Structure 1
Amino acid sequence: MPLQLTIRRAQPADIPQIAAIERVAFTDPWDEKTLRESLAFYPESFFVAKDNGSIAGFVAGGVEDTGEEVYGHIMNLAVAPDYRRRGVGQQLIRRLEQEYAILGASGVQLEVRIGNAGAQEFYRRLGYREVFQIASYYANDEDALVMMKWFRF
């Protein structure tokens, strides 16, 4: 059955469904409090993909201003198991990138586990490139690979 996706900004009422997806997707998931704080801090860059009333996935990001550059930061992306490999993650990333461009960002940064080859390939297909590694970034001491995509206007 084809998806009837709608992408919109997340709302506080979405957090329980988002948290359920988060728990299935990650070994060290964000809790509801962290998800609520992220939504409160960055409401303009926290999106959900809905399919017939169910949340299929979400992306949470923020905007960082270094004083010289403004860039987007993808902090969290997860798709419910039944919706994986169906373009949901790509649509969420594209919507977030669009928001970052509107907000004046020159690019987007993210961190991904060094052992998560599938996620790294997903981001490469969307134009992200490896920049550097951060040692022991995750709770289990796994290194992170920092990836970036620069906008060209």
Structure 2
Amino acid sequence: MPLQLNIRRVQPADIPQIVAVERASFTDPWDERTLQESLACYPETFFVAKNNGDVAGFVAGGVEDTGEEVYGHIMNLAVASGYRRQGVGEHLVRRLEQEYLILGASAVQLEVRVTNTGAQEFYRRLGYREVFQVAAYYANEEDALVMMKWFRF
């Protein structure tokens, strides 16, 4: 049966299901409080993909205004295991990028583990490029690769 995805802004009632997806997706998941804080700080750029009431995935974004430029920041993206490789992550990223364009962002950035080649390839397919590496970015001291996508030059 094809997915019937509904992508919308996260509501507080979505957080428990999002926590479950987060815990199943990462070795060092965000806790419920961090997800709630993300929703409180950036309610306009925190989206959930639902399929028949199930959380298929989510993306948490932030906005950074340097005074000269506005940047979007993909802070967290996870897709529930039963929904992976079906376009859910791409739909979520595209919806977030659309919001960033509305907010006047000139680019979007994200961090990904240097060992997470699958995620790096996913983002490359969506137009993101590596810009630099950050040493010991993650709790386990693993380096992060910073990737960006520019909307205008």
TM-score, normalised by the number of residues in structure 2: 0.99
RMSD between superposed Cα atoms in Å: 0.8
Aligned to 2:45: 45
Structure 1: 5+ residue stretches without partners: none
Q: Counterpart amino acid of 1:87? A: G
| Identity %, equivalent residues | 82
How does 1:19-30 map onto structure 2 within 5 Å? 19-30=19-30
Aligned to 1:88: 88
Aligned to 2:78: 78
How does 1:131-150 map onto structure 2 within 5 Å? 131-150=131-150
Deviation per residue, 1:81-131 (Å, 9 max, x gap): 000000000000000000000000001000000000000000000000000
Whole-angstrom CA distance in 1 between matches of 2:52 and 2:130 = 36
Is 1:31 aligned to 2:20, yes or no?
Answer: no
Q: Counterpart amino acid of 2:134? A: I
Q: Counterpart amino acid of 1:125? A: R
> C-alpha displacement at 1:152, in angstroms?
2.8
**How many residues matched?**
153
Aligned to 1:63: 63
> C-alpha displacement at 1:11, in angstroms?
0.5
**Structure 1 moving runs of 4+ over 6 Å:** none
Whole-angstrom CA distance in 1 between matches of 2:88 and 2:148 = 20
Aligned to 1:126: 126
> C-alpha displacement at 1:19, in angstroms?
0.3
Q: Counterpart amino acid of 1:112? A: V
Q: Counterpart amino acid of 1:97? A: E
